[in-house]
Amino acid sequence: MGFFGHVFRLARAGWVLARHDAFPPPEDAALLPLAARVGLRLARLVASKSHGNGKLSGALAELGPSYVKLGQFLATRPDMVGRARAAELRSLQDRLPPFDMETARRTIRANLGRGADEIFSEFGPPVAAASIAQVHRAKTREGRDVAVKILRPGIEQRFARDLSDFFFAARMIERMSAPARRLRPVDATETLAQSVRLEMDLRMEASAMKEMAANVENDPGFRVPKVEWPLTARQVLTTDWIDATPLSDMAALKERGLDLDRLADTVIQSFLRHAIRDGFFHADMHQGNLFADAQGNLIAVDFGIMGRLNPKERLFLAEILHGFIIRDYARVAQVHFDAGYVPAHQDPAVFAQALRAIGEPIMDRPAQEISMARLLTQLFEVTGQFDMATQPQLLLLQKTMVVVEGVARMLNPHFNMWVAAEPVVRDWIEKKLGPLGQIEGAAEGAASLGRLFTTLPEMLGQAQAATHMLADMANAGGIRLDKETTEALAAAQARHSRAGRYALIAGALALIAIALSLIF
């Protein structure tokens, strides 16, 4: 029955897509498997009688919250849906009619153990409603203005059902289409599912806000709302209320006399600091989630979708951006190979030539037309020609870069991306690759060895206990090991441990010597 349920629900989704005339044109479908091409022809018979406008975003909005999230995720995958479709999906609005006040009050009582009237002196109607949650303005009994975010009722069950359909479709695509396997649709669906699971627990969003607030504590021009932890639970998130102007309201920003050029710089520089320095960035930084206060500080809200980059990926991003800034395409190519993103059997020189073909047309444009987002988009497109496997975390980064660059250019049509980005990228590279960065790396390596060294007595004790256990088992007849064998095993273990200990001591001393030579 599960199979037929998947087929029925996906067929209904296909019907909606057909009514909106949202399927790809015949020339784009030429490489699809025969069964898929036949299905599309049948769908177009329906579409030809519809009044659709050919907009995929409209069809997904009609299909509901899960498909809206799917569309927003596919906006990060131009390699899957094409650049034009990805651009359309980036504008997909995550807005739904609000649910009623009584349901909101029930959710508060179920999660916080008290009614809204007991917790708040004022609890107003929803001021914003999206696919997963809606936000109310309220005032605590102590007189603090707060924002209360409440999860939609039944949304977890709805997403679980639809995600199971997405997984079913992804497995069928991988089974039917060999070219599609390189795009890893099952892995992509798992990335979407993981993101949604995190969004379904508002405590995770609160934790993300707290982590980012600690990261940006000393950053200029950027702040994060404070979480009210006693009033936060799985389905309820309470933060301080932000008296600020959304960046989507350009008229109000100008009326308040805010420096829009400085705000544009802050948007890009803050994002790059978060991604490169911290490896933790807000992955939904559109103008509706960004506000400017009276002092011109940038304030972000809605931390449901976050991106993470490990140290290797952060260095990869910084070196790529810096390499394009200084037009060192050979270095950019080598970074790809060093990171393992391009297979070793490819030719670095040919890859560098491909990168030059991307960079030179972009870099020779007037400064205000240079687009980092366009560069990253073309970069990930060309890597497919060199058998580079899809890196989901980098695609989320690319999508966010496209969005924040669009926000910056909205604020300042003459915005120069490279001038704004260069100080952040240069400073981080100097910190990590310069002498101080080398010392720091050596110290971290020595510290790791030191921590391992301190655990050696415990490891030796465990090894000795294991040897005694083997001897006891042998004596009990559980396994056949004589006394001489167990004693030989114990002696070999001791010799091995001594050798490992000496090697660790030598390695630690070598790292300390390297650090001292760099200092002096």
d(CA 412, CA 263): 9
Q: Are 199 and 156 in contact (CB under 8 A)?
A: no
Closest to 138 (Cα-Cα) out of 128, 129, 125, 151: 125
Residue 209 CA to residue 301 CA, distance in Å, equals 9
3-state secondary structure of 302: coil
* Catalytic residue from among 21, 162, 284, 302: 284
Output the CA–CA distances (angstroms, integers) from residue 253 to 91, 284, 293, 356, 479, in the order listed: 22, 21, 10, 40, 79
Active-site residue flag, 284? yes
Residues 292/299, Cβ–Cβ less than 8 Å: yes
CB of 131 closer than 8 Å to CB of 93: no
Q: In this structure, which amino acid lies at residue 252?
A: A
φ, ψ for residue 317, nearest 5 deg: -65, -50
Any idea how long the chain is?
520
**Surface-to-core class of residue 405, CB atoms within 10 Å of its CB (0-12 exposed, 13-18 middle, 19+ buried):** buried
Three-state secondary structure of 231-291: HCECCEEEEECCCCEECCCHHHHHHCCCCHHHHHHHHHHHHHHHHHHHCEEECCCCHHHEE
- Euclidean distance between CA atoms 298 and 292, whole angstroms: 5
Catalytic residue numbers? 284
